[in-house]
Amino acid sequence: MKNALLVLLLSGVAIAADRPVPPPGVAPSDAEKSALDAGLKELNAAIEKIKDHDLAPDVLIFREAVRYALTYGEFFKPEDIGKARDLLRAGLERASQLRQGEAPWASATGLVVRGYRSRIDRSIQPYGLVVPADWTPKSSAKWRLDAWFHGRNETLSEVNFLAERMTRPGEFTPAGAIVLHLYGRYCNANKFAGEVDLFEALGAVRKHYRIDDDRLVMRGFSMGGAAAWHIGAHYAGRWAAVAPGAGFSETAEFLKVFQNEAVQPAWWEQKLWRMYDATEYALNFFNVPLVAYSGEIDRQKQAADIMERYLNAAGMRMTHIIGPQTPHRYHPQSKVEIDERLDAIARKGREAWPRSVKFTTYTLRYYRMKWVVVDALDRHWEKAVVEADTVDDRTVKASTKNVAALSFDFGAGGCDLAPAGKVAVVLDGQKIEAPAPMSDRSWRVHFRKESGQWKVVERPGLEGLAKRHGLQGPIDDAFLNTFLIVTPSGSGTGAAAGRIEAEMKRAITEWRRQFRGDAQVKKDTEVTDHDIETANLILWGDPATNKVMARIAAQLPVKWNGAEIAAGAQKFPAATHYPALIYPNPLNQRRYVVVNSGFTFREYDYLNNARQISKLPDWAVVDATVAADGRWPGKIAAAGFFGERWE
C-alpha cells in the first residue's frame, strides 16, 4: 500500500493524502528474517523461565519491539534490522541475569531502558531513563524527575525508541534529576492511551526509584511541546513546573496556520475540542509555574502566542523565552536560561496544599486541582470553574460555575484549618457549616447543589446513575482504561452488518498501529463475570448476533430491534443504519459498554496531531449506505451527548 491514495472529504472539499502512518517498512532479506526469527525463538524460551518475575517487563520490551517490527513490517531503514539484532542480544542478556537472581540494570546509572505492563490492553510499554551518576538504590533521598515528551516521528517504532534511549541522553539532563523519556504509545502527542502512558510510566518508575512528587517537571518540544501544554494544563496541580517548547496548544487556529485548512467541524466536534485544547484550560496555570519556549522564526511559536493571549485574559503574565532568529529547535543560550529557571522552581518544589486554587474543566475526565474536586457538572462540555480560598483558620470561600457537586480534599498534614469546632464554608455566597479537619490535619467534605442550594452530603457526586469521574464519555474514554473487544458469535446480513464487521476489524488493526498494543479480544460466548467486573466491554454486532449485547439491549437509551433504531424521537432503518455509543454497563455500572466503535479519529487525522481528537460524542447513528473513508465510518445520520444522568 506504499502508493495507496486515501481520498478524504473535509467540509465538502476532496483532500488527498498518500502518507500512511506509520509508513511502509523495508523488508529484511530471507537470511535476516531467518536470523531474527531464530533470535526471537531463543528469547521467547529464555522469557518462559522468568516471565513471572516482577522485572520481566524490563526483558519483554526487547521481545515485543522486535516482534512488532518483524510481524508488521516496521523496519523503516535497513539499519533498523541491525538495531533489532542488538535488542535481541540485550534481551537475552537480561533474561540470563534475571534467571540468576541478578538485575544490574536496576541499579545502573546513565542510560537505562525499562518497561511496564499496561492495564489498558496488557501490552508491554517501554520507557527510557537518564539516571544521575550519584544515584544509588540505597540512597534515602527523594529525586526530582523531569518527564520528557518526544517530538513527532512517524518511524518511531519500539525498535527505534529503545535504540535511541540506549544511546542518546536527550535534549536536557539537569543535574540531580532523573529524566523519564516517554514512548507515549508512538505518535499521538500523549493523548488518549498516550496520556495514560505518562501516569503508568510514572507509577513504574516510583516502584524502583525514590521520586519526589513535589519536584515533577513536565517538558517536551514540538509534538512533545503540545503534550506538555495539554498535560500541564489538565493536571496542573500535580507538577512543580511545566516547560513546553513549540508544538500546538489547540486545534482550530493551529490548523489554519499550518494546514491552511478551513476548519468547519460538526457541532459535536467543536464541543469535543474542549477536551484537549489547552487554551480552554489556561486558568489552571494559576496553580503551576510555566516556562514556555519558542524559536523566534519557528511557525510553532503560534502555540505559545495563543496561550499567552488566553493567560492574559485570565489575568496572568506568561514567561516566554524566545530563541533569537531560531527556527524549529532550541537556541543554546535559551536552554541555559530555561534550566536556570526550572532548577530554581524545582528547588522550591510544588506547593501541594496552597491557600488559593483556581480550576476550570469541561469534563469529569479532568476533575481535580490540588484540594478542589469537581464531582458533577450541570452540563458537560460547557465551561466549569471553581475558585476557592482558605480565608482564615475557620473559613473557606468558593465560587462556582456549571458545578453540581464538589469536594474539598486535603491529605494528611495538608489542612491549616482549626482542628476543633466548625468550619464556615461560603459557597456561591451561601454559608454552610462543615465539620473540622481530622486530627492528622486531613480534611474531606462533600457538597451537592439541590434546588439551587448547596448542602453537605455523605458521598461525592450525584445519587443514582450519573456521569462521574472516569464514567462520563465520550466514546474514546472507554479506551483509557482496561477494555475488551467482544466479537459476535452470530452473523448478520445487509449493509449495516457488513459495515459493522469491517469497522470491528479496523478497530483491532488500528489500535495496534496507532496505540502500539494488541487489543484483547473474546467471543461473546467467552465473556466471563471477571471480564464484566474489570473491563470496559467493546461490543460489536447487534442484539441478534452478540449475546452480551442481547443481555443489555433493553437497558440502553438507544433502542435497536430487528427493523428499527430509535434515538429519542429519531428513527432509522436497522438494515442500513447502526448505532455507535458509550454507556455505563448495565451489568456493572462502574464500567462502560461501547457499541460498535473503536477510537474515533481516523486516517486523515493521523497526519496531524492537532486533529487527533474525539470525532464522535456519546452516541451516533451511522448510515452504512455511504462508504467509510479516512474521516468517518459512514454518514453520521445523527449524533449527540447523553445528559448528566445518561439520559
502-517, pLDDT tens digit by residue? 999 999 999 999 999 9
- 254 is a domain residue: yes
Same domain, 511 and 584: yes
Whether 198 maps to a domain, the answer reads yes
Residue 156's pLDDT is what? 98
Q: Are residues 167 and 289 in the same domain?
A: yes
Q: Dump pLDDT digits (tens) for 393-430.
A: 999 999 999 999 999 999 999 999 999 999 999 999 99
In a domain, 46, yes or no: no
Q: What is the mean predicted confidence (pLDDT) over 615-634? A: 97
One domain, residues 391 and 338: no
Closest CA to 312 of 346, 283, 340: 283
Residue 382 within any structural domain of the chain: yes
Q: What percent of the chain has pLDDT over 70?
A: 97
257 pLDDT exceeds 90?
A: no
Domain assignment of residue 430, yes or no: yes
Report pLDDT for 18.
Answer: 64
Separation in Å, CA 39 to CA 13, 33, 34, 84, 89: 49, 10, 9, 10, 8
Residue 215 in this model has a pLDDT that exceeds 90:
yes
End-to-end CA separation in angstroms for the chain: 44
Residues 217 and 171 in one domain: yes
| pTM of the predicted model as reported, rounded to 2 decimal places | 0.96
Longest dimension (CA), the chain: 79
Question: Domain residues for 569?
Answer: 475-640
Residue 79 lies in a domain: no
Alpha carbon distances (Å) from 577 to 220, 561, 562, 614, 626? 43, 12, 11, 21, 10
Question: Is the same domain home to 561 and 598?
Answer: yes
Q: Can you give the CATH number for the domain in which 232 is found?
A: 3.40.50.1820
Number of domains in the chain: 3
pLDDT in the model for residue 262? 72
Residue 5 confidence (pLDDT) above 50: no
Mean pLDDT along residues 523-532: 98
Mean pLDDT score, 447-456: 97
Q: Find, among 363, 409, 407, the residue nearest to 384 by Cα.
A: 363
Do 444 and 575 belong to one domain?
no
Which of the four pLDDT bands, split at 50, 70 and 90, describes residue 16? Answer: very low
CA angle 153, 518, 276 (to 5 degrees): 50
Q: Which three cell numbers stand for residue 480?
A: 483509557
Distance of alpha carbon 582 from alpha carbon 616, whole angstroms: 10
444 and 551 fall within a common domain: no
Q: Are residues 508 and 628 in the same domain?
A: yes
Per-residue confidence (pLDDT) for residue 566, from 0 to 100: 97
Same domain, 332 and 386: no
Model confidence band, residue 69 (pLDDT cutoffs 50, 70, 90): very high
Domain co-membership, 293 together with 399: no
Domain co-membership, 604 together with 519: yes
- Sheet with 177-182, edge to edge strand ranges: 110-117, 124-131, 177-182, 143-149, 211-221, 241-245, 291-295, 319-323
Of residues 256 and 357, more confidently modeled: 357
Q: Residue 101 domain-assigned?
A: no
Q: pLDDT grade, residue 561 (50/70/90)?
A: confident
Q: What is the pLDDT of residue 15?
A: 39
Nearest CA among 328, 410, 332 for reference residue 369: 410
Does the pLDDT at position 3 exceed 90?
Answer: no
Check whether 154 has a pLDDT greater than 50.
yes
User: What integer best gives the mean pLDDT of the chain?
Assistant: 95
- pLDDT at residue 511, as a whole number: 98
Looking at the fold, whether 122 and 241 belong to one and the same domain comes out as yes
Look at residue 150 and tell me if it is in a domain: yes
How do strand 558-560 and strand 570-573 relate by DSSP bridges?
unpaired
Where a domain ends, among 457, 487, 516?
457
Last residue of one domain, picked from the residues 422, 457, 492? 457
